[in-house]
Amino acid sequence: MLELLDPKDPMEIAVFSTKSYDRQFLDAAASNKHTLHYVEAQLTADTAVLARNADAVCVFVNDQVDDAVLQEFSSLGVGIVALRSAGFNNVDLTAAKRYGVVIARVPAYSPEAVSEHAVALMLSLDRNIHRAYARVREGNFALEGLLGFNLHGRTVGVVGTGRVGTGVAKIMTGFGCKLLAFDIRPNTACSEIGVEYVPLATLLEQSDIVTLHCPLTPETRHLIDADAVARMKHGAMLINTSRGAIVDTLAVVNGIKSGAIGHLGLDVYEEEAALFFDDKSDEVIRDDVFERLLTFPNVLVTGHQAFFTADALQAIADTTIANIDAFAKSGKPVYEVTQAT
Ligand code: NAD
């Protein structure tokens, strides 16, 4: 576990997109060293002003740390934005540098939480657990429509073999799968367990399950587009627990309609910022693409919960406070995000 430093000064920290579970774990990690101001609102150019009087701001994946927000923070005297996440695609790093706002993140809090969730999606979809759950509660014990396939002997293609992707590769090796991988920086930990690195096109053509674990960057935006779907083995399973925009959702909807994609498991969605992390059950959801996804029997969507284990929340809170402690002490967080990260 990360050592929490003794800060020079207590900091006033504005925590955006706060949920009850954030409070629980951050309060325990901060243990009265800093003053935490919890804000339920998502961070946007309109809500950035809620960080007035704060030395530090703490944000989550759908908070927009863009040019306008960073300019506002700089004028309010906010010195650091501490992300409660590994991904930082929601931050304009060039603007942060220009306005002198330091960005910190939690590079690895519990990759196993995300790896295990990706595998949970695979197993649920393969064996139709999501449908069986609803059927049995209705007294319907028919098996038609629940036919699965053995994972043993199947080929799994892992795109991005960092912490999460390597975890998935290890678990799937245990199931007796053949593992293919594509990464711009191959990982020896994967090669050592028998994972074979291949070009992306080969991975798409040969995998029964394609699982995405690369970050969202300009290069990976819509990595899975209509061409990629056309390359995939007919009826293959696609899993995305990484970032929504790695997948072109419309291309994937068309792939499901044509049968090119046999199963789809998503924990992330391109337009999730307007939907996820809140109870919308009393509202009319206006996102027709998202609603179309939910009509398919072979699609399973979870609302960005792959990280959501007690172990991970504890680690996120500890590292976030350690980042802020180190910044208070030395002007540098433990895990700074720079252009070169
Ligand atoms: P990581 O940095 O350890 O690994 C990412 C891997 O992707 C690296 O090996 C990197 O070389 C590779 N990569 C980068 N660009 C690539 C490209 N163009 N093509 C192929 N591979 C590429 O990150 P991680 O901890 O394994 O997390 C992976 C992603 O999972 C994060 O970027 C984040 O977006 C996502 N994530 C989601 C959740 C969730 O709750 N759903 C939680 C944590 C992380």
Centroid of ligand 1 to alpha carbon of 166 (angstroms) = 10
- Residues with catalytic annotation? 243, 272, 304
Centroid of ligand 1 to alpha carbon of 327 (angstroms) = 26
CB atoms within 10 A of CB 45: 14
What is the amino acid identity at position 336?
A: E
When divided into structural domains, the chain yields a total of 2
3-state secondary structure of 79: coil
Contacts (Cβ under 8 Å, ≥6 apart) of 210:
156, 157, 159, 203, 204, 224, 232, 236, 237, 238, 239
Give me the sheet containing 299-301, strands edge to edge. 196-197, 178-182, 155-159, 209-212, 236-240, 261-266, 299-301
Kindly state the tokens that stand for 62: 């759908």
Report which protein residue has its CA nearest ligand 1's atom 15.
Answer: 214
Q: What percent of the chain has pLDDT over 90?
A: 93
Say how far apart CA 198 and CA 193 lie, in whole Å: 15
Same domain, yes or no: 295 and 236: yes
Report yes or no on 325 lying in a domain.
Answer: yes
Average pLDDT over residues 179-189: 97
Report yes or no on 1 lying in a domain.
Answer: no
Atom of ligand 1 nearest to the CA of 215: 32
Instruction: Please report where in the chains the tokens 């690195």 appear, as a residue.
Output: 197
Q: Domain range holding 83?
A: 12-109+309-330
Report yes or no on 7 lying in a domain.
Answer: no
Instruction: Please report where in the chains the tokens 């009265």 appear, as a residue.
Output: 32
Q: What are phi and psi of 130, to 5 degrees?
A: -65, -35
How many CA atoms, within 13 angstroms, populate the side-chain half-sphere of residue 312? 19
Average pLDDT over residues 199-209: 98
Say how far apart CA 80 and CA 53 lie, in whole Å: 13
Same domain, yes or no: 266 and 119: yes
Q: What percent of the chain has pLDDT over 70?
A: 97
Report which protein residue has its CA nearest ligand 1's atom 11.
Answer: 185
* Residue 1: pLDDT over 70: no
3-state helix, strand, coil in the chain (%, to 5): 40, 15, 45
Say how far apart CA 32 and CA 34 lie, in whole Å: 5
Report yes or no on 161 lying in a domain.
Answer: yes
Average pLDDT over residues 170-175: 98
* pLDDT tens digits along 212-231: 999 999 999 999 999 999 99
Report which protein residue has its CA nearest ligand 1's atom 23.
Answer: 162
Report yes or no on 71 lying in a domain.
Answer: yes
Average pLDDT over residues 189-212: 98
Average pLDDT over residues 306-331: 96
Report yes or no on 183 lying in a domain.
Answer: yes
3-state secondary structure of 166: helix
Pocket of ligand 1 (CB under 6 A): 86-87, 108, 111, 114, 159-165, 182-185, 187, 213-217, 219-220, 241-243, 267-268, 304, 306-307
Same domain, yes or no: 212 and 115: yes
Same domain, yes or no: 146 and 279: yes
Confirm if 130 and 104 have CB atoms less than 8 A apart: no
Q: How confident is the model at residue 87 (pLDDT cuts 50, 70, 90)?
A: confident
Same domain, yes or no: 48 and 85: yes
Same domain, yes or no: 85 and 160: no
Same domain, yes or no: 209 and 319: no
Same domain, yes or no: 90 and 117: no
Same domain, yes or no: 195 and 289: yes
3-state secondary structure of 223: coil
Answer with the residue of higher pLDDT: 130 or 8. Answer: 130
What does DSSP assign to residue 34? S
Q: How confident is the model at residue 335 (pLDDT cuts 50, 70, 90)?
A: very high
Centroid of ligand 1 to alpha carbon of 61 (angstroms) = 14
CATH number, domain of 77, equals: 3.40.50.720
Same domain, yes or no: 100 and 131: no
Whose CA is closest to 157, among 196, 184, 102?
196
Report yes or no on 60 lying in a domain.
Answer: yes
- pLDDT for the residue 109: 87
Same domain, yes or no: 194 and 297: yes
| Mean pLDDT, all residues of the chain | 95
Centroid of ligand 1 to alpha carbon of 189 (angstroms) = 15
* Residue 341: pLDDT over 70: no
Report yes or no on 339 lying in a domain.
Answer: no
Same domain, yes or no: 209 and 315: no
- pLDDT for the residue 108: 87
Whose CA is closest to 26, among 315, 334, 277?
315
Beta strands in the chain (DSSP E): 12-15, 35-38, 56-59, 80-83, 102-104, 155-159, 178-182, 196-197, 209-212, 236-240, 261-266, 299-301
- pLDDT for the residue 339: 77
* Residue 131: pLDDT over 80: yes
Confirm if 65 and 59 have CB atoms less than 8 A apart: yes
Report which protein residue has its CA nearest ligand 1's atom 20.
Answer: 183
Centroid of ligand 1 to alpha carbon of 142 (angstroms) = 40
Through-space distance between the first and last CA atoms of the chain, rounded to whole angstroms: 22
- pLDDT for the residue 9: 78
* pLDDT tens digits along 42-65: 999 999 999 999 999 999 999 999
- pLDDT for the residue 2: 59
Report which protein residue has its CA nearest ligand 1's atom 37.
Answer: 242
- pLDDT for the residue 4: 57
